[in-house]
Amino acid sequence: VILWFCNCIKTCHISVPYNTDDNMLHGPVFIQEPNSMIFPLDSEENKVKLNCEVKGNPKPTIRWKLNGTNVDVGMDYRYSVVGGSLLINNPNKTQDIGMYQCIATNSFGTIVSREAKLQFA
């Protein structure tokens, strides 16, 4: 088992298959990072899901950034985080187009996902 820790000052990037005993303390590790996507403007679903799945012990907290700014799920009812993934209800081209990143943090460190570009067509 390889353990990888970040200090609190650095931002770390890692995305590797990772098997560990769930009781072992370790920093966050991506199981799945978000992928770029194109949302069809004529979609009947009217919902976007950007996937992010993270493992860590203690359980990491997940937050999202859009174009480098924190997505405030408490201030915009359209946004919610479910199981780490970002759900955007009634996506709006003007407000929601851009680069998204998933950030996971626990007491052992912080990891930042690759950028995922959300476009509309």
CATH code of the domain covering residue 45? 2.60.40.10
User: For residue range 62-91, what is the model confidence (pLDDT) as tens digits?
Assistant: 999 999 999 999 999 999 999 999 999 999
- Token pair 């194109």 is found at 38
Q: Is 37 part of any domain?
A: yes
First to last CA, the chain: 44
Per-residue tokens: 57: 């012990």
**Is cis: bond before 58, omega within 30 of 0?**
yes
Is there a domain that residue 85 lies in? yes
For residue 14, pLDDT beyond 70: no
1 part of a folded domain: no
Could you tell me the two tokens for 82? 């479910």
Q: What pLDDT is stored for residue 23 in this prediction?
A: 83
Number of domains in the chain: 1
> By the 8 A CB rule, do 38 and 119 touch?
yes
Q: What is d(CA 43, CA 28) in angstroms, rounded to the nearest whole number?
A: 34
In a domain, 113, yes or no: yes
Q: What is the C-alpha separation between 103 and 65, in angstroms, rounded?
A: 8
The answer to the question of residue 111 being in a domain is yes
Give the per-residue pLDDT at 2: 41
Range of the domain at 74: 26-120
Within-domain flag for 5: no
The pLDDT tens digits of the residues spanning 17-68 come to 445 566 899 999 999 999 999 999 888 889 999 999 999 999 999 999 999 9
**Three-class SS state of 96:** helix
Contact 54, 60 (CB under 8 A): yes
Q: What is the mean pLDDT of residues 86-108?
A: 97
Residue 25 C-beta-side C-alpha neighbours within 13 Å: 6
Q: pTM of the predicted model, to two decimals?
A: 0.81
Over 90: is that where the pLDDT of 16 sits?
no
